[in-house]
Structure 1
Amino acid sequence: MHGFASVGECMIELSGQNDTQWHMGFAGDTLNTAWYVRALMQPDFAVDYVTAFGDDAFSNQQMAFLNENGIATDKSPIIKGARPGLYAITLTGAERSFTYWRNDSAARRLAENPAHLLKSLKNRKMIYFSGITLAIILPEHRQSFLEVINQCRAEGAQIAFDPNFRSALWPDHNLARELITQAMRSSDIALPTLPDEQALFGDADGQACAARLTALGVKEIVVKDGTDPAIVQFEGKQVLVPSVKANAIDTTGAGDSFNGGYLAARLNGIAPAEAASQAHKVAAHVVECRGALMPMQTAHDLFMR
């Protein structure tokens, strides 16, 4: 088993400081996490982004961008006539809001061919996906997607999952609870965010969230809660890991970068509590930059010294 694969949607990101000038980039929750895993691992450690791309110029730019930054895309299908999803970020102070155009996104069909998806994810040391992955793939493909994840786990892959609940993506919240619970039962590492879990499951606090996930069989749990301490639960022990003070100018990608920092640390053999401390440091630096993706070399230089 070798390498890390992140499964989800790479989108076109529009960001800017005024109403008429926009900067185009590429991002998405699972892509952001893969970005920081790539930055925090040695160059010979394989990092793949598994999705579905279109055959248009923007999709070609996405693939070139990822490949140039050491994230492989060759295991992802290219769907004729498809195109990427798009979102625009608007900021009020450091807080962001999003407008999406993604109904025709190629990534919605990433589980269209389960045999191809399984082949794409074979022999991975770790596979990561999110509740957004589950939400955006076509509804008729969700069960086959989870079956592929379960098969990979049975063959030795470690599965990491962030529920990353976004209400607008789940018109049926009962379905969201059902599918996210299924995904949790298939996971070795859970990376929930407390306000999301409270919105969907009604957890009273972080301890209640951790207890619910433990009852589902998850062995390693990190409950994130913004600038409040993270709850890390592993091997029957629970530790509070304080966040790191930051001068935030843009909170886009904060949780995703935390996940990337945590998973990279765990892949490097660092214990869970120390891994969460590293993850807080990564997120603190990211929110001091504009956009979800800190320059790859900058992230590498900050944390691989």
Structure 2
Amino acid sequence: MNIEEKIIFSNREYDLLTVGEILIDMISKDFAEDFSSEEYIKNFGGSPANIVINTKRLGLNSRAVSSVGFDGFGDFLVSHLQNEGIDTSLIGRTTCPTSMVVVTRSRGTPVPIFYRGADYEIEYTEELDKAIKNTRIMHFSTWPLSRERSRKVVEKAIKTAKESGTLIGFDPNYHRDLWDKDFDAIGYIKSIIKYVDFIKPSEDDAERLFGKDIPKNQIKKFLELGADVVVMTLGKDGVIVADKNKMVQFNTLATEVQDTTGAGDAFWSGFYTGIIKGRNVEDAVKVGLAASAFKLKYIGAISPMPKYEDLIKEFNV
């Protein structure tokens, strides 16, 4: 695969399947860099789940694989997906409490506090196996990799995807606090990069995995580990997209920033939608930038994302 290539998909029922966390985002009402805010508001959250909702609104047939608790927060999350017209039959329920992240609003990269629970209780079922084989792109992040139970599910899902020709997108959003202390998380993450087709690190993600370096050098490290296509988001400096032969940088399309929470998820959503709609990787990056710019105008991880046709018209991409 290269960044100038348009991907020809076989006829499958689902465009996108995300595997990972659905959780509660408790986001501060006010901006504060030191968690001094006194009021936090409950929001639907979890990066893979945000991507499912965004892509559904953009016009894709998307589905989520996750687990929530038998509690009020779990009911809230499942109902939220159902109200978006999303199939929730792959959302498991468990006696563990629904997972939560507390985030203080920031104009930079938010610093989260994690409360883990039900999100890693996912199971590999016959229905999940069929869903992977009937999906064009499967997406996952490091969250389910950070616990052994859900890690085994993702490993099996990757194997099924590779065997069935389902493309794989990976968000290497590594956070040390999510992993067991005696587990070589960084080494493990590096070991699975060779299995993915798309990887989208932020500068912070890359620094956590490789140490500090300039973006172009970081991208080369992902490529050397076997990734086909690397898309590195640079915040206000835009995006760099690369394969083994070509590297291109695009400027941001954002003109207004209310809240950066979920901007990366919005980018993923636009990027995947562009790929499914027949754009090559370079052009799909432009759709990702448009979706991210749209989201930045709103507070919370999810914005009232428009249809694909309206988004590309608004940002002329």
TM-score, structure 1 normalization: 0.86
Residues 236-284 of structure 1, C-alpha deviations (whole Å, 9 max, x = no match): 2221111123221211011111111111111111111221112112111
Q: 1:245 to 1:269 in 2, by over 3 A?
A: same
Count of equivalent residues:
295
Of 62, 83, 102, the match for 1:88: 102
Structure 1 stretch displaced more, 83-92 or 1-10:
83-92
Match of residue 64 from structure 1: 79
Q: 1:132 to 1:246 in 2, by over 3 A?
A: farther
Of 35, 43, 68, the match for 1:53: 68
Residues 85-104 of structure 1, C-alpha deviations (whole Å, 9 max, x = no match): 122322255663333322xx
Q: CA RMSD in A?
A: 2.5
Q: Report how far residue 120 of structure 1 moved.
A: 4.5
Alpha-carbon distance in 2 for matches of 1:230, 1:129: 20
Alignment of 1:20-169 (within 5 A): 21-41=39-59, 45-79=60-94, 81-92=95-106, 96-102=110-116, 105-111=117-123, 113=124, 117-135=128-146, 138-169=147-178
Look up the SS of the partner of 2:43 in the other structure: strand
Alpha-carbon distance in 1 for matches of 2:303, 2:297: 9
Contact 2:290–2:312 under 8 Å retained in 1: no
Match of residue 13 from structure 1: 25
Residues 64-119 of structure 1, C-alpha deviations (whole Å, 9 max, x = no match): 1101112221123222x2331122322255663333322xx2221114x4656434
Q: 1:131 to 1:303 in 2, by over 3 A?
A: same
Q: 1:206 to 1:2 in 2, by over 3 A?
A: farther
Contact 1:9–1:51 under 8 Å retained in 2: yes
Percent identity reads: 23
Look up the SS of the partner of 2:135 in the other structure: coil
Contact 2:242–2:248 under 8 Å retained in 1: yes
Contact 2:257–2:297 under 8 Å retained in 1: yes
Q: 1:186 to 1:180 in 2, by over 3 A?
A: same
Alpha-carbon distance in 1 for matches of 2:129, 2:41: 35
AA aligned opposite 1:303: L
Q: 1:93 to 1:240 in 2, by over 3 A?
A: closer
AA aligned opposite 1:158: L
Alpha-carbon distance in 1 for matches of 2:164, 2:21: 25
AA aligned opposite 1:281: A
Alpha-carbon distance in 1 for matches of 2:49, 2:150: 21
AA aligned opposite 2:42: M
Q: Report how far residue 62 of structure 1 moved.
A: 1.2
Match of residue 303 from structure 1: 311
Of 230, 240, 258, the match for 2:267: 258
Alpha-carbon distance in 2 for matches of 1:92, 1:86: 18
AA aligned opposite 1:23: I
Alpha-carbon distance in 2 for matches of 1:247, 1:236: 34
1:199 matches 2:174: no
Q: 1:64 to 1:203 in 2, by over 3 A?
A: same
TM-score, structure 2 normalization: 0.83
